[in-house]
Amino acid sequence: MSRELPPTLTLSQQPQSCAHVAGAWLVHMLSDKKTMQAVKQQLRQIAGQKELHWDLRQISALDHIGAQILWRAWGKKRPLHLQLQPVHEGIFERIEQVSQRGVPREPKPRLTRVMQLGGLMLGLFHHLHGFTALLGQLMLDLLRLIRHPLRAPWKEISANIYHTGAQAVGITALVGVLIGVVLSYLSAQQLRTFGGDLFIVNLLGMSIVRELGPMLAAILVAGRSGSAITAQLGVMRVTEELDAMRVMGIPHGFRLILPKVLALALAMPLLVIWTDIMALIGGMISAQALLGMSPEFFIYKLPEAVPLVNYWIGLGKGLTFGILIALIACHYGLRIKPNTESLGQGTTNSVVVAITVVIIADAIFAIIFSKTVY
Residue 21 lies in a domain: yes
Question: What integer pLDDT is reported at residue 1 of this predicted model?
Answer: 41
For residues 193 and 284, membership in a common domain is answered with yes
Distance CA 193, CA 100 (A): 80
Q: Report which of residues 374 and 274 the model is more confident about.
A: 274
For residues 88 and 168, membership in a common domain is answered with no
For residues 137 and 174, membership in a common domain is answered with yes
Residue 224 lies in a domain: yes
> Per-residue confidence at 169, pLDDT binned at 50, 70, 90?
very high
For residues 296 and 178, membership in a common domain is answered with yes
Q: What 8-state DSSP symbol labels residue 369?
A: T
Residue 110 lies in a domain: no
For residues 59 and 158, membership in a common domain is answered with no
Segments in 80-153 forming alpha helices (H) = 89-101, 113-147
For residues 231 and 310, membership in a common domain is answered with yes
Judge whether 253 and 141 are in contact, CB under 8 Å.
yes
> Per-residue confidence at 78, pLDDT binned at 50, 70, 90?
confident
Average pLDDT on 364-371 reads 87
Burial class (CB in 10 A: 0-12, 13-18, 19+), 103: exposed
Residue 316 phi/psi, 5° resolution?
-65, -40
Question: What integer pLDDT is reported at residue 308 of this predicted model?
Answer: 86
Residue 54 phi/psi, 5° resolution?
-120, 125
Residue 117 lies in a domain: no
Domains: count for the chain: 2
For residues 146 and 271, membership in a common domain is answered with yes
Does pLDDT of 24 surpass 90? no
Closest CA to 374 of 199, 113, 186: 199
Per-residue pLDDT tens for 246-267? 878 888 888 889 999 999 999 9
Residue 114 lies in a domain: no
Residue 119 lies in a domain: no
Closest CA to 354 of 334, 372, 331: 331
For residues 198 and 141, membership in a common domain is answered with yes
Q: What type of residue sits at position 122? A: L
Q: Which domain holds residue 55?
A: 8-101
Using omega within 30 degrees of 0 as the cis cutoff, is the peptide bond preceding 259 cis? no
Does pLDDT of 16 surpass 50? yes
Residue 118 lies in a domain: no
For residues 227 and 159, membership in a common domain is answered with yes
For residues 20 and 139, membership in a common domain is answered with no
Does pLDDT of 102 surpass 60? no
Residue 61 phi/psi, 5° resolution?
-155, 145
Q: Report which of residues 106 and 300 the model is more confident about.
A: 300
For residues 233 and 358, membership in a common domain is answered with yes
Judge whether 64 and 88 are in contact, CB under 8 Å.
no
Distance CA 286, CA 279 (A): 11
CATH number of the domain that 42 lies in?
3.30.750
For residues 172 and 52, membership in a common domain is answered with no
Residue 228 neighbours by CB distance under 10 Å = 19
Look over the chain and give the mean of its residue pLDDT values, rounded to a whole number.
Answer: 85
Residue 116 lies in a domain: no
Per-residue pLDDT tens for 277-310? 999 999 999 888 888 888 888 888 888 888 888 8
